[in-house]
Amino acid sequence: MQEKLNKAQTAFNQWRFLAFEDKQKLIARASEILKNRAEDLGKIITKEMNKPISQAIAEVQKCALMMDYYAIAENSLKPEKIASEYSLSEVHFVPKGVILGVMPWNFPFWQVLRFATPTLLSGNTAVLKHASICFESGRAIENILLEAGFPEGVFQNLEIGHNEVRQILESPIIKGVSLTGSEKAGAEVAALAGRNIKKSLLELGGSDAFIILDDADLNKASQTGAWARLQNCGQTCVAAKRFIIQENVYAGFLDLLVSEFKKYQPGNPLNKDTLFSGMARADLADELENQYKKALEHGAEVILPLERISDTAFKPSLIAVERANPILQEELFGPVGIVLRAKDDNEALDLANDIPYGLSNSVWTANLERADFYIKNLESGTVNINRMTSSDPRFPFGGTKLSGYGTELSLLALKEFVTAKTVIIQ
């Protein structure tokens, strides 16, 4: 491991000075490789964590689109001139060095490349600690970047366990860490980074609200809502986890949503027609089942039961809960949707904000003035109107509260792991 860290540091000493445009050419080449091999790479994802092959291929293709964005992006790291009485006053953006990425299993390619692409383009080098079930994805990503022409050491996959993360973070070679994962993992890594005075970026969990108002297009909202909850078997931080429905359309929308949920039945993930398959691991399915039982013990009403049909597969579930149910303070990472009833806009907003997370929310209304009320008052990193949450390389992605801090994607991500150096000449 130390040898790889040394290699990353040696690579940084040269990589940092490579022209921004030359780095972009390498990113463009890597994108082409992803496009050409999307199906084969998708099979790696499916084999590792059960994602339906069509969604796995789409994940690889989305990575390519993201890399295409950065391959032609404006160089926002050029020195910025500051008007002053001095003969020269500028801000230079200097890469920090070797950055550690700690990445999860639910999007084995997307999460890694979403972190790595702007980090490398900023002039840093990176080492990856991937989820233990996704080591093959990590190897594939490293090989793709090497094949595209990235120098050895610029990006390296470390096949290590969680216990070794502490040792890596404490190394003086590591200058920052980006983690996508659970609140618990984020707190541990951030605390360790803080003790060592190192920059951290955290993209953590969410319990996103999907708010249905009485002037919404109920058909479109129910179709989109089911997909927003059940894609990737519900194992998505920005999934629509809480359906907050205005009471005068509650029954009508719920009937539509139940009908849509029933269309998602577990299938063979290697079949291209499959939209919904099993969870990534049996222990994750156990955890979801325990949370479901906890919700029922505290009064949740079963709308669609959580039926387990194998070690990892369920039929999707819907439960209705009251505000006091403690399950609302947790993230359900799997195919269970929560339904709540709201009298009006104020109660819907209050329910949406009354959780420890703040990643993204979706509001369905035909009235843009009503929408503006939510845009101004929802406590989240993203607000979507009449659409589900989906990350886009053009727009900043990140959360607030226990959903983490820092920005991924967009040009803002280029400045996450740089130092703003002030330069003044008298």
Question: What are the catalytic residues?
Answer: 203, 237
18 three-class SS: coil
Question: What's the rounded Cα separation, in Å, for the pair 404 and 411?
Answer: 19
- Count, residues in the chain: 426
**CB of 133 closer than 8 Å to CB of 280:** yes
* Cβ proximity of 334 and 279 under 8 Å: yes
Instruction: Classify 88 as helix, strand or coil.
Output: strand
Whole-angstrom Cα Rg for the chain: 22
Consecutive H or E run containing 141: helix 135-148
Residue found under tokens 């907003």:
349
218 — phi, psi (to 5°)? -65, -35
Which residue spans within 334-377 are E strands per DSSP?
336-342, 357-358, 360-364
Q: End-to-end CA distance of the chain, in Å?
A: 46
CA dist 39 and 43 (Å) reads 6
CA-to-CA dists, residue 207 to 237, 249, 362, angstroms: 7, 22, 11
What DSSP character marks residue 408? B
Note whether 5 and 168 are within 8 A (CB).
yes
DSSP symbol at 218: H
Longest dimension (CA), the chain: 73
